[in-house]
Structure 1
Amino acid sequence: MITERPPREATLSGLLRGHGFRQLLTVRLLSQLSDGVFQASLAKYAIFSPEHQSSPTEIAAALAVVTLPFSVIGPFSGVLLDRWRRRQVLLMGNLVRFGLGLLTAGLLLGGVPRWAFYGAALLMMGINRFILSGLSAALPRVVAPSELVTANAVSPTLGTVSAACGAGLGFLVGLAAPAGAAANALTVALSALLYLSAALAAQRIAVDRLGPELRGELPSLRQALAATWFDLLGGVRHLVRDCRPAVHALAAVTLARFGYGMLTVMVLMLSRYTFNDAADEQGGLASLGLAVGLSAVGFFLAAVISPWCTRRLGLSGWMTTCLAGTAVLVPALGLTFREAPVMAAALLLGVATQGTKICADTLVQESVEDEFRGRVFAIYDVLVNVAFVAAAGVTALVLPLNGRSAPLLLGLAALYAVGALLYHRAARRT
């Protein structure tokens, strides 16, 4: 049964006293710090290149290139997460990204074409999603059930903050380095070294510490891959039959991710063409960096207040509040299309988006059995990624180059409001 109100003793200090939690958190922070540095190089290369005028359509295409292919194979990784040692996934995944990063940096110095860079980004980000699913699936192995809300407030949120810090570091390196391919190559090489540090941190965890608990002798990898489709259907049946709160939470967090994707593209366009001159690469990067930083502060605030809010409102009550609050705050701040209110909206959107995710993660972890958890989190990952890219595609159809669109903001606010109402009704019935 879902625990709506976790005990008061589930505290951050109690979590940090746990050796296993500290080890897993270290891997997450280093891995996502590396992701942030790499994503900064991707943003600079694809969006803020002074010799290329990016449009919303091109940004949506770039997001699709690095996200959608993994969304197709993502569910299959969940089956492997329920069979392979999750510690080995964290170790080998970061080692592979270390090698890919060094290779990509070398290609950039050699004048690689744009499609080759996007291909490397596809591989790097695909492995990233695989690792994040493994981290979420492993979390209940290192904390008590009563600590899951606090753990979900701290671990993914600090990981997101770490990624934002990495993005800031990547932007600083790009601005300090000489212009051209050398700046991007240096940033990618830095991300590769950070991936190596994440792999070394994962190596310190005991091989069997993160599960999964295997029942009986495993089939061969070939047999396991052949049975993947049926295993995934089993995971879906488990969700629908036994985990209705998790199903409702997944629907709500998918909607929140869709809205976040639309607003991401809008802020990108505003940062380059409205808040700054289109030729001012440094100004555009600074505005985007500020938006990312404030959003990260919002994620951190969500981690601080979510355990308190869930104790008083319940998981479903806090998630409903986050969705409804976004419906009000997005148009109130965003319709000015001025930099200061938009940055305030980025902060508040970070609180609401991460608060929704914290509740959804906890509901999934508490209601899904361990043997299904890896594939369910892989499906979860696919849902939010597809929603993010679909949002970028929809935004590209209606958003002008300068990023100013009142109908888009009002429509998005209405979507959040309807989502809050539907989730509240579904949670009450459950």
Structure 2
Amino acid sequence: MTTTNAEPARAAMPAGLVRLWTAVGVSSLGDGAFLAAVPLAAATITRDPTAVAAVTAAMYLPWVLVQPFAGALLDRWRFRTVMLTADFLRAAGVGTLAVLVATGQATIPLLAMAAFGMVLGQVFHDGAVHAVVPELVGRDGPVLDRANGRIYSAENAGKQLIGPPLGSLGYAVTPWLPFAADAVSFLISGAALSRIPAELRTPSTGERPAILRAVWSGIRWLALHAQLRLSAVIASAGNLAYNAAWATFVLLATDEHGLDVAAAGFGLLISAYAVGGVLGSPVTGWFNRRLGPSRTILLLALAHGLAWPLIALTANAWLAAPLLAVIGAAQTMTTVTNVGLRQSLAPAELLSRVNAAFRTLVNSASPVGALIGGVVATAYGLRAPLFVAGAALLAVALLAGPALWTRTTSSTDSMSH
């Protein structure tokens, strides 16, 4: 089923990518509702910035605690089975949260636990999705950029563009509704994924290394690859900056001395971020072909780093919205570029482990950023985390800038140590 050029990739769309695209799009729609509803639920329970930020931080802990081992396990399991299991377990978990919210039993610790469980499933589900795409379309860089762009466009449209306004509106109507909708979305996603051929990829039955040794092999390969190593550093800085700014952004957005938007308006701000991601995904390949992946990543980091301080300087939601779109484009285009680089450069037998090593490093910055954002907001006010986020990302981008700008290798070039 593997293809090596653009035409077969297009022909495979009805049998493979369309079903994957449908599953990602539908479950992302429910996730968007969840992502808008969780901070609103936390802000309803408490106005303590540190407590609200703790819920955001909990969403990223699985990337630190579980992701390193998930890659080694994915290399041993069937990808379709992993995706189906993750969808059905998350449906049960978020459905339970809907009941707790409806009965008034939701607390900050329970919201944090639910957020942790949702992302735990995402760790395995996303890892399987990343590994399935090259199985469907081959490992040619431009073809991967196009396929990944479609996947991430669907993800951003659901998770950031359409889902959040529906989630915040649903929460305003009745708080349990967004969580119930997310549970249903996982069931629909599972139905779509069940039609992906089970024989798409059969794990090797030969001798397998111990889990820790398998994990180390992925870490070592990434550490020795100069291009991916640099990309991981920039992506880590971007995640730290984003989460430092976003962890308490709901408080700034809904504060009368901040952007002063209602609960439904907060969902629209999330959608502004998503518009950038949806518009940016399809043109990522164009930038990579003309500038090269490393230069593209550098320019996106600079744009991202400048946008947060500019948002902090305004009290107008209409001015903040297009800047959030810039951040959304930068984040999504960076992700699409990095996913394509890993898929085209990492050996097939190591891909899940290299993915896991990369994403563990990058996502480890997320809970750190969220906690930093909560502490800074508590000490210096709700705008302060946005200034800190921008300064941190710009500093890292400028330090890595010369190395990234002179690295002109494409996503299809061979590995160099």
TM-score (norm 2): 0.87
Instruction: Return closer, same or farther for 1:216/1:360 CA change in 2, 3 Å cut-off.
Output: same
Question: Do the aligned partners of residues 306 and 395 (structure 1) sit closer, same or farther apart at CA in structure 2, a change above 3 Å counting?
Answer: same
- Alpha-carbon separation, structure 2, partners of 1:331 and 1:172: 28
- Residue of structure 2 in register with 1:138 after alignment: 132
The correspondence of residues 17-28 of structure 1 with structure 2, limited to 5 A, is 17-28=13-24
Letter of the 1:124 counterpart: M
Distance 1:295 1:131 in 2: 23
Deviation at 1:426, TM superposition (A): 7.0
Distance, in Å, in 2 between the alignment partners of 1:12 and 1:329 is 40
Out of 270, 295, 299, the position equivalent to 1:292 is: 270
User: Identity percentage over the alignment?
Assistant: 24
SS in 1 for 2:314: coil
| Letter paired with 2:191 | L
In 2, the alpha carbon distance for the partners of 1:68 and 1:414 equals: 25
Distance change >3 Å, CA 159–CA 12, structure 1 → 2: farther
Q: Which residue of 2 aligns with 1:39?
A: 35
Question: 2:311 & 2:259 partners in 1: Cα distance?
Answer: 19
Could you tell me whether the CA contact under 8 Å between 1:15 and 1:151 is conserved in 2?
Answer: no
Matches within 5 A, 1:388-403: 388-400=366-378, 403=382
What does the per-residue CA deviation read over 1:151-185, in whole Å, with 9 as the maximum and x for residues that have no partner? 222212321221122222221211223xxxxx22x
Residue 329 of structure 2 is aligned to residue 351 of structure 1: yes
Task: Indicate conservation of the 8 Å contact 2:31/2:163, yes or no.
Answer: yes
- For the pair 1:321 / 2:304, whether they are aligned, the reply is no
Partner of 2:292: helix, strand, or coil? Answer: helix
Equivalent residue for 1:108?
A: 101
SS in 1 for 2:206: coil
Please give the alpha-carbon distance, in whole angstroms, between the structure 1 residues aligned to 2:137 and 2:377: 44
Structure 1 position 365, deviation (Å) = 1.1
CA distance in 2, matches of 1:423, 1:11: 35
Instruction: Identify the match of residue 238 of structure 2 among 245, 256, 274.
Output: 256
Partners in 1 of 2:36 and 2:12 — Cα distance? 30
Give the number of aligned pairs: 400
1:262-281 aligned at under 5 Å gives the runs 262-265=244-247, 267-273=249-255, 274-275=257-258
1:417–1:66 CA distance, 2 compared to 1 (3 A)? closer
User: Residue 204 of structure 1: SS of its match in structure 2?
Assistant: coil
Contact 1:334 1:341 in 2 (8 A): no
Question: Is the 2:131–2:352 contact (alpha carbons within 8 Å) kept by the matching residues of 1?
Answer: yes
Check the 8 A contact 1:101/1:188 in 2, yes or no. Answer: yes
Cα distance change on mapping 1:304 and 1:407 into 2, 3 Å: closer
Report Cα offsets for 1:111-138 as digits up to 9, x if no partner: 3251234323321221122211211121
The TM-score, its normalising length taken from structure 1, stands at: 0.84
- Offset of residue 357 of structure 1: 1.3
Corresponding position: 1:82 with 2:75: yes
Letter in 2 for 1:162: G
CA RMSD of aligned residues (A): 2.8
Q: Is the 8 A contact 1:321 1:420 kept in 2?
A: no
Partner of 1:217: 206
Gaps of 5+ in 2: 410-415
Residue 266 of structure 1 deviates from its aligned partner by 5.2
Q: Is 1:206 paired with 2:200? A: no
- What is the Cα deviation at residue 37 of structure 1? 2.2
Alpha-carbon distance in 2 for matches of 1:11, 1:326:
35
Secondary structure, counterpart of 2:159 in structure 1: helix
Q: Is the 8 A contact 1:153 1:304 kept in 2?
A: yes
Give the residue type in structure 1 aligned to 2:273: S
Amino acid at match of 1:360: N
> What residue in structure 2 maps to residue 307 of structure 1?
285
- 1:141-220 maps to which residues of 2 (within 5 A)? 141-146=135-140, 147-164=143-160, 165-177=162-174, 183-184=175-176, 186-209=177-200, 211=201, 214-217=203-206
Residue 425 of structure 1: how far off its partner (Å): 5.2
**Is 1:91 matched with 2:84?**
yes
The separation in 2 between residues aligned to 1:32 and 1:202, in whole angstroms, is: 14
Structure 1 moving runs of 4+ over 6 Å = none
Q: Deviations over 1:212-248 (max 9, x none)?
A: x5344366xxxx7xx211111111122234x332222
Once residues 416 and 77 of structure 1 are traced to their aligned partners in structure 2, the CA distance between those partners, rounded to angstroms, is 29
1:230 and 2:213 aligned: yes
CA contact (8 A) 1:89 1:134 kept: yes
Partner residue of 1:408 out of 383, 388, 400: 388
Aligned equivalents of 1:117, 1:355: Cα separation in 2: 30
Give deviations 1:9-48, integer Å, cap 9, x for gaps.
859993784521112111211222222222233122112x
Q: How far apart are residue 88 of structure 1 and its match?
A: 0.6
**Does the 8 Å CA contact 1:249/1:360 hold for their aligned counterparts?**
yes
Query: Relative to structure 1, is the Cα distance of residues 43 and 68 closer, same or farther in structure 2, using a 3 angstrom cutoff?
Result: same
Question: Counterparts in 2 of 1:371-390, with a 5 A limit?
Answer: 371-390=349-368
The correspondence for 1:63, drawn from 43, 50, 56, is: 56
- Partner deviation per Cα, 1:392-422 (whole Å, 9 max, x = no partner): 1222232257522375266246325425515
Matched, 1:118 2:143: no
